[in-house]
Amino acid sequence: MKIAFIGGGTMGEAILAALLEKKRIIPSSVCISDVSKERRDYISGRYGVLVTDDNKKATEGKDVIVLAIKPQQFGDVLSDLKGSLLSSQVVISIAAGIRIQTMTRGLGHSRVVRAMPNTPAQIGQGITGWTATPGVTDLQKEHTRTVLTAMGKEIYFQKEESLDMVTAISGSGPAYFFFFAEALTAAAVNIGLSPEDAGELILQTMLGAARLLEKSAKPPAELRRNVTSKSGTTERAIQVFEAGGFNHIVDAAVKAALERAKELGG
């Protein structure tokens, strides 16, 4: 599989590094286009791949083109590439809020994948929701999975509108956990723990709870009940969460994120 990256920023580099580490590609099969000479020099020196500032040149002879750029850069990039892509090439976009129709029209190309990874993809622990145009072949879907699973897990969705929901859950989801960790750390310090001890306790608790949820066949509610002894400390804490409308707040936050995802998509 030969691959081009348009954009060599954080996510583009993360995907490249994961693909190379897992030996799914070799450096000579890669070309990265980036406007920054500093980034080009860094990526070329670290990974031994070809680099350029010419988007069209980067895509020549490649099976997969990954658009790893910010939404505000899309107009220029689509214009650069319009009419230059072959039916044997599949374009994968990882930008939030850019609709498939925008890409197919802007590129003059019908074989497009829209993907929504999340930030844990940077360490190979992400999950990506994705969808594809009808013209994307089985082989091109296989190439897409090769790219996406280098970052973690993937889920294919038949309908593009599902990606707005993915954005609200897994796309924004890491921030929800970080936000809760912030609040729990502040609470720990307020009751007398040092920030260092609080951080270690909370990090390992979150990691362990996530791993327990992964390994157990039990749903989250049952695992929670297993920890919640009648009239115990956990029950008292859960009662406070419930009295404060915790479930309602989470529901409202997810719906707000979903609405914003739809707005960004136009």
pLDDT category at 265 given cuts 50, 70, 90 is confident
For the ranges 74-78, 153-157, 194-198, which has the lowest average pLDDT?
Answer: 74-78
pLDDT of amino acid 259: 94
Residue 41 in this model has a pLDDT that exceeds 80: yes
> Would you say the CATH fold of 173-265 matches that of 3-159?
no
pLDDT of amino acid 138: 97
Residue 145 in this model has a pLDDT that exceeds 80: yes
From CA 37, how far away is CA 29, in angstroms rounded?
A: 21
pLDDT of amino acid 130: 98
Ordered by start, the domain boundaries in the chain are: 3-159, 173-265
From CA 250, how far away is CA 12, in angstroms rounded?
A: 31
pLDDT of amino acid 252: 98
DSSP 143-173: HHHHHHGGGEEEEE-SSTTHHHHHIIIIITH
Edge-to-edge strand list for the sheet holding 64-67:
50-52, 30-33, 3-6, 64-67, 90-93, 112-116, 126-132, 152-156
pLDDT of amino acid 266: 73
Residue pLDDT, tens place only, 196-255: 999 999 999 999 999 999 999 999 999 999 999 999 999 999 999 999 999 999 999 999
Residue pLDDT, tens place only, 176-195: 999 999 999 999 999 999 99
DSSP the chain: --EEEE--SHHHHHHHHHHHHTTSS-GGGEEEE-S-HHHHHHHHHHH--EEES-HHHHHTT-SEEEE-S-GGGHHHHHHHHTT---TT-EEEE--TT--HHHHHHHHT-S-EEEEE--GGGGGT-EEEEEEE-TT--HHHHHHHHHHHGGGEEEEE-SSTTHHHHHIIIIITHHHHHHHHHHHHHHHHHHTT--HHHHHHHHHHHHHHHHHHHHH-SS-HHHHHHHH--TTSHHHHHHHHHHHTTHHHHHHHHHHHHHHHHHHHH-
Phi, psi values for residue 18, rounded to 5°: -65, -40
What CATH code is assigned to 3-159? 3.40.50.720
What CATH code is assigned to 173-265? 1.10.3730.10
